[in-house]
Chain A
Amino acid sequence: MTTATRPARSPNEPLVPFAELVAEGARAGAPAWLATFRRGSAERFTAVGLPTSKDEDWRFTPVQGLARENLGVVRRPAPVAPEALKPFLLGSERGALVVVIDGRFEASLSHLPVLPTGARIMSLAAAITEGIPEVEAHLGRYATPDVTPFAALNGAVFADGLFLHLAAGIAIELPIQVLHVSTGAVPVVAPRSLLLVGRGASVTVVESFASVGGTTGFTNGVTEIVLGRNARCEHLRVQREGAEAWHIGLTEVSQERDSHYRSFTLALGAKLSRHDLRARLGAENVETLLYGLYLGRNEQLHDNHTAIFHDQPHCNSWEVYKGVLTDRSHAVFNGKVIVQPVAQKTDAKQTNRNLLLSETARVDTKPQLEIFADDVKCTHGATVGKMDEQQRYYLKTRGIAGRVAEGVLIWAFTAEVLAEVTDPGIRETLEKLVRAELETMIG
């Protein structure tokens, strides 16, 4: 494989390569509205730069190394064979499969079945070229450049991803898979997806992130999800990138009245992963369910930041994130719940539970409830610790102890959130994946 290495950068000028990329993105040919968005994003990123440990939201997640480590390397991407994708596929083969290699839609590896009228599943770049009005109307309106520095970086340089548009009342039965593959060949893999689920429409979308042909790379993805009135979306996000990869992602959800959003995120891979999941409950009677699971070993860092904006009354949010950590791995959880003064009758519950299997694993967990309404039910709880003693005793009374019991208890801890994945086929595959990972972790 040919490797071309850029000149080494001095560590005290880490932003130079990013600045180049950002400038390139801002110059790239695009419709006027997109050029404006890219320019605005570029300006924002240039102004704020990479976050440092002084930024409260990035206190435990050191990303400064990114500029030095990943941006010097550009090599020719090796073609990705269909067989190489197999281990990462989830769900039915008959469902839509959108494959995005290093941030670009790859038609030859994708599978787009015939869809009912009013449903579109296509490359975002193609949707922009076609001038589909919904793209202009929505892209960048939710994950704005000021959300995080990485959202700005993505806005400046993103190439492609999924565009999904479901008109009112359309239900897509089979889960839609979006498989993001990083080959480690490009400096920043910046996929961007836009999901518009119309009034009363429903869909399940599985976004997977994987490394093929290498273990390095830097993915910086953004997904915007817009749910119309009474729309339903189940969103699964599975991160299985290589052991040396950097993975940053932002999911921004906007919910109309009576809509239902259910998310499950699984973080297994990368040396550093950070996912921001933000849901804006912008109308009454919205339901938002967020489930998450992260497994850390070696020196891995998994950071989950969630923010739930209760902007209107009578909305429910329910959040359970769990982690199992061993070796010297580290997890960060920050769960914001912001209840506006008008958002009376809010029912919000947040839980973060962590299981530490080694003395050197570490968790920083922080619930952050900001409640400005007085007639609400909001609870939160965070635990960091060992196994469930009740379960342990129960197993003992059935003759099961020692390592066998340990395995069962750790598995049961994770299975509780895995059970929240609705599709039985996908759930089973994810269970196998988690089980295999746990076996590696506990040896």
Chain B
Amino acid sequence: MSLLQVVDLHATVGETEILKGISLTVNAGEVHAIMGPNGSGKSTLAQVLAGHPAYTVTSGTVTLDGADLLDLEPEERAHAGVFLAFQYPVEIPGVTNAYFLRMAYNEVRKARGLEELDPIDFYDLLEEKLKVVRWGPEVMERAVNFGFSGGEKKRNEILQMAVLEPRLAILDETDSGLDIDAMRIVADGVNQLRRPDHATILVTHYQRLLDYIVPDFVHVLADGRIVKSGGKELAHELEARGYEWLTGVPEAAVA
């Protein structure tokens, strides 16, 4: 059974249809890159999988490990193992990273019928996870994303992902706005978290990230549909030729 199965997915925001029939199969252990010009529906796909309330799924099915995903609330999807790394992570003043991570970790454990971790045991776990993003413990006392630089916010998303160990990680333009050092750290983090029983979907506009996280499959989205799928070499072709040969729309017009 495939880990994620998306079949003919249509979604709208308000009156506008953004996803116009997406089908995608992701198996455990795989990394899929979703590429495409701005406005192609990449981020919508990521948000629809996470359960953003602004989008309405009008038809199609999505299953995770064979179970229907679309009927679940966002938090239930998180409990089932879906994780979305936000393009614009949200600031939560007054709540320390340490507190937030333990709360999220324990909410997921509770939902799975597991025992909660006390602060001391959790701190041990956290120490390990901090290494993934090469951070010291001081970041744990800062409020979640509050006053963080763009790069720090993205690193914080990867840290959350490391702690929650999702079955399916969706990274929504995690590379945007990152300098090369920050991108290396983020990419290294994602690579360290690759496991045979997990899968990753990378949503990105640029091929740059894929030099560091090598995908098994690349899909090109245009106007709400997957117009081409291929191996990692497709990303290089896009880098060289742009999107126009696939979308029929000049880059500038859709940017």
Contacts and interface: CB of A to CB of B under 8 A. Distances in A.
Contact of B108 (A396, A399, A404, A411): A399
Interface stretch (A22-30, A370-378, A412-420): A412-420
Contacts of B143: 415, 419
B95 A415 contact: yes
A2 interface: no
Which size bracket describes the interface of B in this complex? Answer: 20 to 34
A390 B90 contact: yes
Contacts, number: 75
B74 A393 contact: yes
Contacts of B92: 391, 394-395, 408, 412
A431 interface: yes
Interface residues of A, number: 21
A404 B94 contact: no
Given A394-B86, A397-B51, A416 B73 contact: no
B160 A414 contact: no
A86 interface: no
Contacts of A391: 90, 92
A54 interface: no
Interface in B64-91: 73-75, 77-79, 83-84, 86, 89-90
A408 B79 CA distance: 19
B43 to A, nearest CB: 14
Contacts of B93: 412, 415-416, 419
A246 B93 CA distance: 32
Interface string A186-223: 00000000000000000000000000000000000000
Pick from B78, B92, B164 the residue with the most CB of A within 10 Å. B92
B94 A412 contact: yes
A397 B103 contact: no
A408 B103 contact: yes
Nearest to A411: B94
Given A411-B94, A415-B143, A399 B53 contact: no
B53 A416 contact: no
A400 interface: yes
B104 interface: yes
Q: Is the interface of A mostly helix, strand, loop or mixed?
A: helix
Contact of A396 (B75, B89, B95): B75
Pick from B79, B93, B111 the residue with the most CB of A within 10 Å. B93
Given A393-B52, A398-B164, A400-B103, A419 B94 contact: yes
Contact of A399 (B79, B90, B94): B79
A431 B146 CA distance: 17
A396 B94 contact: no
Interface string A250-273: 000000000000000000000000
B152 interface: no
B50 interface: yes
A379 B212 CA distance: 45
B107 interface: yes
Pick from A391, A395, A415, A431 the residue with the most CB of B within 10 Å. A395
A398 B52 contact: no
A399 B78 CA distance: 5
B94 A398 contact: no
Interface of B: 50-53, 73-75, 77-79, 83-84, 86, 89-90, 92-95, 100, 103-104, 107-108, 111, 143, 146, 160, 164
